[in-house]
C-alpha cells in the first residue's frame, strides 16, 4: 500500500499536466468553498448556495464576454489554410474548378512576399508537401509565388468611407465565399554540400522540372464558438439562480407583511 502511495505521489510530482490540473482544482475548490461557507454561515445553506452559484456564474458570464469579444481564453480552432489539391505541371487539368478555368492565374491576386498571408501560406505549403511525400524536405523545393482569389471583398481604397463601408458590409454578410490560394513551387537544382566554412548555396529552381500548383482553401475556423457557448451557458445559470433568489425575496417580503405585530403585555 505504501509503495502504491509513493508511486502515485511520484507520478503526480513528475507529470506536469496532472500537477497543473490538481493545482487549479484545489485552488478552485478552496476559493469557492470558502466563499460558500461564509455565505452559508450568514444566510443559511440553501440561500448561501444560491448566492455562491449566482456570483460564480455572473463572474463567468463577464469573463466569457471578454473571451468572446477578443478571441482569447478558451477558444476554438483558429482560421487556417487547408490543402485541397496538389497539381504537377498541368493546372488546366486541375480538379479545382477555379484553377482549371484560369490556369495562368491572370485574374488571381499576387500575394507579396512581405505580406503576413504569404508567410502563413508558405508554412502551410511546406507542411503539406513534406507530409504528403511530394518532397522529402523543405530544402528540396523553392516557393515561386502565391496567389489568391475569392473570399469576402477587399476595400477599394484606403479612404475612411471605403474602410467603414467595407467593414460594415463584410460584417453583415452572412455567407462566407470560398477563399482559394495557389502556391507554386518547383524542385531545386542539386548543388551539392557546401565546403568547410562556405555559406550554403542560394536555392535555384530546376526549370526542367514541372511547376507544382498547391491549391489551398481557407478554413475560417470557429475561434469564438466556444466562448459564445460558454457565455450563454453561464448567463442561463446566472439567470436561473438570480430568479430563484428574487422569488425567495418576494416570498419572504409577503410573509413578513402578513405578520401582525404583537402588543407587549397582552
pLDDT for position 260: 63
Contact 108, 182 (CB under 8 A): yes
Q: Tell me the percentage of the chain whose pLDDT exceeds 70.
A: 93
Which 3 state secondary structure label does DSSP give 52? helix
109-110 vs 80-88, strand pairing mode: unpaired
pLDDT for position 264: 60
All residue ranges of the chain with pLDDT < 70 are: 1-2, 5, 7-15, 260-266
pLDDT, one tens digit per residue, over 132-158 is 999 999 989 999 999 999 988 887 788
- Rounded to two decimals, what is the model's pTM? 0.74
pLDDT for position 169: 84
pLDDT for position 9: 67
Side-chain-facing half-sphere of 164: CA atoms under 13 Å? 3
pLDDT for position 246: 95
pLDDT for position 13: 65
| CA proximity to 9, closest of 220, 118, 108, 1 | 1
pLDDT, one tens digit per residue, over 34-60 is 999 999 999 999 999 999 999 999 999
State the Cα–Cα distance between residues 147 and 109, nearest whole angstrom. 5
pLDDT for position 19: 76
Amino acid at each position: 500500500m505504501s509503495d502504491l502511495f509513493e508511486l502515485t505521489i511520484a507520478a503526480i510530482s513528475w507529470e506536469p499536466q496532472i500537477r497543473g490540473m490538481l493545482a487549479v482544482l484545489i485552488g478552485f475548490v478552496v476559493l469557492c468553498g470558502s466563499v460558500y461557507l461564509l455565505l452559508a454561515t450568514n444566510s443559511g445553506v440553501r440561500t448561501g448556495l444560491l448566492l455562491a452559484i449566482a456570483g460564480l456564474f455572473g463572474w463567468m458570464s463577464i469573463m466569457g464576454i471578454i473571451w468572446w469579444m477578443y478571441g482569447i481564453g478558451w477558444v476554438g480552432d483558429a482560421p487556417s489554410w487547408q490543402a485541397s489539391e496538389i497539381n504537377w505541371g498541368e493546372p488546366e487539368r486541375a480538379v479545382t474548378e477555379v484553377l482549371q478555368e484560369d490556369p495562368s492565374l491572370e485574374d488571381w491576386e499576387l500575394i507579396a512576399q512581405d505580406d503576413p498571408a504569404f508567410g502563413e501560406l508558405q508554412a502551410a505549403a511546406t507542411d503539406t508537401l513534406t507530409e504528403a511525400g511530394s518532397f522529402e524536405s523543405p530544402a528540396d523545393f523553392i516557393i515561386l509565388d502565391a496567389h489568391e482569389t475569392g473570399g469576402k471583398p477587399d476595400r477599394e481604397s484606403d479612404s475612411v468611407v471605403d474602410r467603414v463601408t467595407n467593414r460594415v458590409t463584410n460584417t453583415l454578410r452572412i455567407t462566407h465565399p470560398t477563399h482559394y490560394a495557389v502556391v507554386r513551387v518547383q524542385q531545386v537544382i542539386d548543388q551539392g554540400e557546401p565546403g568547410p566554412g562556405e555559406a550554403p548555396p542560394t536555392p535555384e529552381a530546376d526549370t526542367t522540372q514541372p511547376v507544382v500548383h498547391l491549391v489551398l482553401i481557407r478554413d475560417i475556423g470557429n475561434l469564438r464558438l466556444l466562448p459564445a457557448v460558454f457565455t450563454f451557458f453561464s448567463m442561463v445559470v446566472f439567470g436561473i439562480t438570480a430568479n430563484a433568489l428574487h422569488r425567495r425575496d418576494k416570498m419572504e417580503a409577503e410573509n413578513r407583511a402578513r405578520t401582525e405585530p404583537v402588543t407587549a403585555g397582552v
